Each structure stands twice: as structure tokens, then as C-alpha cells.
A and B are shown apart, each in its own frame.
Chain A
Amino acid sequence: MSTLPVEQTLDCRGLSCPLPILKTKKTVNNMADGEVLMLLTTDPGSPGDVAAWAKKTGNKVLSSQAEAGVYTFYIKKTLLRGMV
């Protein structure tokens, strides 16, 4: 596993769709622009869902890894221009 500096971590292991996305959104809402969230999931649908969520909300997935059934995402909160 890489060792990016993270400001927040969120453990969504064991949770199914759409909970990882909903909890990620809630957590990211309370973070400052540019801060990094480490998200852990086990839902096999989450790599696709996290990527789609990030694309739509403008947040950046810095990296994602899968290891022993656990997905780890590093997500950088990125405010869209014109959106507050």
C-alpha cells in the first residue's frame, strides 16, 4: 500500500451499494478543498461506483488498489469551479 498523507479515513468494509458512496459524500462534505480521504470498501461494485461518483462530483481519485478483497481509494476533495 502506498503511503499518501491523508486527512480523513472512512471504513465502508462490509457495506453494500449505495452506502459507500453516500458515506463518502457525507465525509467529503465536511473536508476542506484539497484534503485527501482514504476510503476502504469491500463491495465489488465500489471501484466502478467510486470512479463514477468522483467523475460526476469533480473530486479526484488519486489512486485505488485492491488487496485481499479490500479496495483502498485515495480521494482528493476538489471543488468544482462555480460550485460552492
Chain B
Amino acid sequence: MSETQKKVALIASRGTLDWAYPPFILGSAAAAMDMEVMIFFTFYGLPLLNKKIDAKVSPHSNPAMPMRMPFGSKDFQQIDWNIPNFISGNMPGFDTMATSLMKETFKNKGVATIEELRELCVECGVKFVACQMTMDVFGFTKDQFIDGIEVGGAAMFLEFAADADIQLFL
């Protein structure tokens, strides 16, 4: 590509279902716009490189998250269910339920799954880097991740980000 190609450096630091989306959406879209992209996965973003992604969402830690139902009439779907933190934080299986509701809503709205977006990133040549230090701390091994990723440290990210046009910490 020409030397005017834009570069995008993203850090994926969170692994919940909601926060799994931004790095893969922006990464794939940037690649589709002919930009060179690196996503550095660190801390809780690291599990997004697992072969099977098991990301969940918790309304308990997202106080502004609207709780809406993905089924029923249009008016019913507009209702915000105000679930007190006391319930969302203590009821067993609440996060699993919230996660399946969010996945259903995304599917109904034609939003790709995390796995699909990740696959599209790989197809478009987005470079994935797993943080070596976090892997050691949390006991991750490279063979549990998808193929084709690199393992590196802060300097590896910074070297790329230093002359990137866009740098985002997500």
C-alpha cells in the first residue's frame, strides 16, 4: 500500500460482551477503509483471543444500561425494566439472562456476533497482539488463542502506535 496509508492502534482491555464489540467493530471498519490496524489485547481483553469467546454482560456493573426485551410488541420492547442492583447483583443466573437478552437483541437488529467480527478482522489483515505480561499473570497460553496472533509487550504496541494516526484505549 502507499505511504499515505493510515494506521490505527487499538487497545482492547475489557472482555465483557458489550466492550468486546468496539475493538472488533472499529478494527474491521478501519481495515475496510484501507487502514493498517493493530489491536493490543491486555488484561480483561485477553480472553477475546480465546478460540471460543465466552463474553458476558452484567447490568450490575453498567448502571446506565437499558434493560429491554428483544421480543413482544414495539411498545413492550421500549420499556426500560429498572432492576435494582440488589437483585441484578445477587440473583443467580442474572448475568446469563442479561447476556442472552443482549445477544438476542443484537441478532434481531442485524448486528454481527463477536466471533464474526473477529473473523472479518482476521480476513482483512488486522494484526492481533496478546500482552505477554497479562498472559503470564493470568495463566494464558498462546495455544488457547486463535491462530495467527502475535505475543508482545508494551514497547511493541508503542512502536506501532507512535506513528499511528488513531490511537484508542478501549
Contacts and interface: CB of A to CB of B under 8 A. Distances in A.
A binds B: yes
Question: Is the interface on chain A under 10, 10 to 19, 20 to 34, or 35 or more residues?
Answer: 10 to 19
Interface of B: 1-2, 6, 25, 28-29, 32-35, 109-112, 117, 120, 123-124
Nearest to A49: B29
Interface in A1-39: 14-19, 21-22, 24-26
A52 B32 CA distance: 11
A25 B2 contact: no
Contacts, number: 47
B1 A83 contact: yes
Interface of A: 14-19, 21-22, 24-26, 43, 52-53, 56-57, 80, 82-83
Nearest to B25: A18
A25 B110 contact: no
A22 to B, nearest CB: 5
A22 B32 contact: yes
Shortest Cβ-Cβ A-B pairs, 6 listed: A25-B32, A18-B29, A56-B33, A15-B110, A16-B110, A16-B111
